Chains A and B, each alone.
Chain A
Amino acid sequence: MSELIANSQQLTAEIWRLLEEVTDPEVPVLSILDLGIVRVVRVEGEQVTVTITPTYSGCPAMNTIATDIRLRLLAEGYTKLTINTQLSPAWTTDWMTAAGREKLEAYGIAPPIDGTASGHVLNLFGKETAVLCPLCKSEHTHLVSQFGSTACKALYQCDDCREPFDYFKCHS
């Protein structure tokens, strides 16, 4: 029995390691672990269950991510797979790893700044989050739109180098 448990713990660790290789199709520098969307990995005998949570409810990347997880695990010989979705507790950018934030910035997307989520407060025409330009590191930037190229990003522009850039919205 204890051998079985030890074996399943080892398998669970192995699966977490494989999930590190599955990336976000829209921000390919980020793994799904960097994003913080993998909630549970469970191994029971041959049955492997991976539970993920969506970043935004309409995010079209979720289907692709689920398929990519399946393909990655199938390639290593895991055939009894279940991939579940869990909505609650809702995903927050607080779950994004420090490594993920660095990768985002190097990729040209300003990482989320913790504690700046407006939450459920309606801060009409409120002061916008000061975001550092990921290209020239200037502090002189402004929000162009809360809605950017994907659901998780807002559109900013740098007032110094004039480049428009994406900001990964703080969401909590």
Chain B
Amino acid sequence: MEDAMQFAPSENPALATYSPEVRQQLFRFVLQLADTSLILGHRLSEWCGHGPILEQDLAMANIALDLLGETRSLYQYAAELEGQGRTEDDLAYLRSATEYRNPLLVEQPNGDFADTVVRQFLFDNFHYHFLKQLVNNADERLAAIAEKSLKEATYHLKWSSEWVIRLGDGTEESHRRVEKSIAELWRFSGELTIPTALEKELQTIGLIPEYADIQASMTAHAERVMEEASLVIPQQVFMLTGGKDGRHTEHLGYILTELQYMQRTYPGMTW
């Protein structure tokens, strides 16, 4: 069932022109994006069958599926960039927690519905604005993946923004809960736009967008949503980082234990 897993040659024009060093850097960055979508998609899929109401259970499963689709495109590209014969499955299922490069935010537990909504909102606000820049990227494959995912990420940000507003501006109970989630999760939001050494190098050679360019739109959207939700943006928060360099919270190990169980137990199994 390997059909349609192969990209049309027209979507790879730049690949041959990269130096081995740039190719390796881009590989690591694409892997980071893939890990991010995979881990958040996995977290959301944990809601399947447990959502507060059927329609929102379906919404979270749909968002998880979109993220998983993006993940596959990214891992396939990463495997090509690496050129060592590893496949998308090897990259997803056979790397350890310290090799994963997702930011800490996306591995945080689902908690209650408010925690999931706030985690999603913080991620979507970054994802949407980042993809908007990435569609014009010099690397055409990344641009093509972004073009596809941006349409979906727009639905996601609309969903999570509206839910932050509903919860914040809803009942006393929902307001209390979403306020608590914001206090807990905001400290993970900074990592999304604080560039790592790798990201700085790729930004310098113009291969990925500058985070400074999307910060203003992200802040404007967050302010608009939080105000409508009668919530306050936490100030002077110490931002936790490390995930993009492989230093994770304890949660990631548990996620991978479940996610990688089949391939670790029965190496190379397919169906």
Contacts and interface: CB of A to CB of B under 8 A. Distances in A.
A135 B55 CA distance: 21
B158 A90 contact: no
B152 to A, nearest CB: 6
B11 A120 contact: no
Interface stretch (B61-69, B177-185, B263-271): B61-69
Interface residues of A, number: 42
Nearest to B56: A145
A56 B66 contact: yes
Given A51-B8, A62-B4, A146 B155 contact: yes
Interface residues of B, number: 48
Give the dominant DSSP class at B's interface.
helix
Interface of A: 40, 51-52, 54, 56-60, 62-63, 65-67, 69-70, 82-90, 118-125, 144-149, 151, 155, 171
Q: Which of A58, A63, A123, A171 has the most CB of B within 10 A?
A: A58
Instruction: Classify the interface of chain A: helix, strand, loop or mixed.
Output: loop
A119 B151 CA distance: 7
B18 interface: no
Nearest 7 pairs of A and B residues by beta carbon: A58-B69, A57-B69, A66-B3, A66-B4, A88-B144, A58-B65, A147-B62
Contact of B147 (A69, A85, A89, A146): A89
Most buried by A among B148, B149, B159: B148
Given A88-B144, A90-B147, A146-B155, A70 B68 contact: no
